[in-house]
Structure 1
Amino acid sequence: MDALDDLDLRVSGCRACPRLVDWREEVARTKRAAFAGQTYWGRPVPGFGPPDARLLIIGLAPAAHGGNRTGRMFTGDRSGDVLYQALYDVGLASQPTSVAMDDGLELYGVRITAPVHCAPPDNKPTPGERETCRPWLVQELRLLRPTVRAVVVLGAFGWQATLPALAEAGWRVPRPRPAFGHGVRIGIDRSDGGGGSDGGGGPDGLDLFGCFHVSQRNTFTGKLTPAMLREVLSAAAWAAGLGK
C-alpha cells in the first residue's frame, strides 16, 4: 500500500464531525427510493485518481445519493455526469460516465478530491467542518507535491479551503489571497523557493484555476456550460503538462 492509499483508507474511517457522521449514516440507512436495493457507502469519500497525478480537481463535498452512495467522488449524480463527460471530452478520462467504483473508469494524470469528505445536509458543510477536514487536504497535497502542477477548484467554498491548505502544504500563496472567479488563473511558487515567478512555469510551482461548481443549479441555469468547463479543464491540462 502506498502513502496515498493509506491516506484514503484513513479518510474513509474519519468520524470527526458529529453532524456529518449522523447525516451520512442516516441517508445510508433510509436511502432514496430509486436506490432502495443498493448498499450505500455511508462513510467519508476519499479522493480518486492516480498517486502521480499532475492535475488535481477540488470540489465541495460528496452528494448524499452520489458519492455517499457509491463511495467515489462525483460518482452516481448529475454533477458527476457533467464533470466526467467534460474530462472525457478533453482526453483526461477513459469514459464519459462514472456510475460505480467498479465501472472501469480511469483518469489520466488527474485526481479528484474535496475539502469536505462527508456528505453534508443540504449540500452545505459549515466553515467549521471545512476546517476540521482541512488536514486531510493538506496531507493529500503534500503527497501529490512531487507531481502536481495544476489545480482546478470548483466553486468559492472549495477555493476558500484550498488556499490555506496549499500554504500549509508548502506553496507560497499570494497575499492578499486572490479572490475566486470563474476562469481565474494564479501562478503559485513553492514556499522553499522552487518554481518560477509565474508559478506553473517553474519546476515545482503550480497553476491554480477557478471554475464554477458543476452543481445542478449552475449547469441547469447555464451559469456553467459544458464549453466553459472544457475550456478551464483544457487550460489546466496544458499547464499540468497533460495537453495533447
Structure 2
Amino acid sequence: MTSQGPARVASLPELDAAVAGCRACPRLVRWREEVALTKRAAYRDWDYWGRPVPGFGPADAAMAIVGLAPAAHGGNRTGRMFTGDRSGDVLYAALHEVGLASQATSVAAGDGMRLYGVRITAPVHCAPPDNRPTPAERDTCRAWLSRELQLLRPTLRSVVVLGGFGWQALLPVLAASSWRMPRPLPVFGHGAMVRLPATDSGPALSLFGCYHVSQQNTFTGRLTPAMLRQVLAAAATEAGLLP
C-alpha cells in the first residue's frame, strides 16, 4: 500500500487521499493506467483519473452504500464512485428521488453533486479487468474498507450492499469491527435485512442487500428503479435520514 497505511489514517479526508495513492495490486495498477492512456473514443478529450477511487460522501454519514469496484470508463475516468457510467445513472437517480442526493445525475467530480447523510464506497478501489477483482485483490483492499467503517462508526447506522460480491467482501470486515455477525452467516438476497448487534457501546447496524445496479440487472428488469428506491428508503429510515 502507501507509506501511510489505513491503520495510521485519522480522518476520512486523509483516508481518501491515501487510498488514491495505493499501488498494492500490480494487475489492477497496470489495467487502470492502461485504460487511462488508451481511453474510450467517446472520452478521448478527458484526462482520466486512472488511480484508486476513494469513497464519496460526508464524513458523518449515517448510511453507507457498498458496491463492487469502479468502472473502467466511469469512476476510473472521473475519480468518483458510480460517476459517469450507466450504473451510476441508475443509482444517483434513485438517491435523488428518495431525497438523499442533490441532483439526479453525476457526470464529473466537480459537477456539484452532494449526498445527504450517505457515503458510497467499494471493497475494491481500482477498476478491474472485466469488472472482476480476484479474491486476493479483494483481500488486499480490505484494510481500506475496514478503516473507512471504523471512521464512520460514530454516525453509521445502516449499510446497503449492491450485489453478492460486495456482500461477501463486507461480512468479514463487519465481523472484525464493532458488530456481531450471526451464525450461520446471513445470505445475500435482494431485500435481505439483518440487524447486527454492537460489540462495543455503540448502536446496532442494519445491513441491507440489493441487486447490483449493473446494466445486466437494470436492462433485464431484474432490478427496477422502484425496487432500488424501496431498499434505499428502508435503509435511510433505519439510519434516521427519512421519517
TM-score class, shorter-chain normalisation, is: over 0.9
1:42-81 aligned at under 5 Å gives the runs 42-81=50-89
1:188 and 1:146 map into 2 onto residues whose CA distance is: 15
TM value normalised by structure 2: 0.95
Is 1:242–2:241 an aligned residue pair?
A: yes
The alpha carbon displacement at 1:168 in A equals 1.6
Is 1:93–2:101 an aligned residue pair?
A: yes
2:70 and 2:79 map into 1 onto residues whose CA distance is: 9
- State the superposition RMSD in angstroms: 1.1
1:166-205 aligned at under 5 Å gives the runs 166-192=174-200, 194=201, 204-205=203-204
Q: 3-state DSSP class of the match of 1:140? A: helix
2:4 is aligned to none
- Deviations for 1:44-77, whole angstroms, at most 9, x for unmatched residues? 0000000000000000000000000000000000
The alpha carbon displacement at 1:128 in A equals 1.1
The alpha carbon displacement at 1:209 in A equals 0.1
Q: 3-state DSSP class of the match of 1:190? A: coil
Counterpart code for 1:231: Q
1:6 is aligned to 14
Counterpart code for 2:217: N
When residues 113 and 148 of structure 1 are mapped into structure 2, their CA distance, relative to the original with a 3 A threshold, is same
1:3-152 aligned at under 5 Å gives the runs 3-152=11-160
2:218 is aligned to 219
Counterpart code for 1:204: P
- Deviations for 1:150-206, whole angstroms, at most 9, x for unmatched residues? 0000000000011111112221111221110000000001123x4xxxxxxxx6111
1:176 and 1:105 map into 2 onto residues whose CA distance is: 39
Contact 1:139 1:169 survives alignment (8 Å): no
Is 1:229–2:237 an aligned residue pair?
A: no
TM value normalised by structure 1: 0.95
Q: Percent identity?
A: 71
1:79 and 1:127 map into 2 onto residues whose CA distance is: 23
Q: 3-state DSSP class of the match of 1:171? A: coil
The alpha carbon displacement at 1:2 in A equals 6.7
How many residues were matched structurally? 235
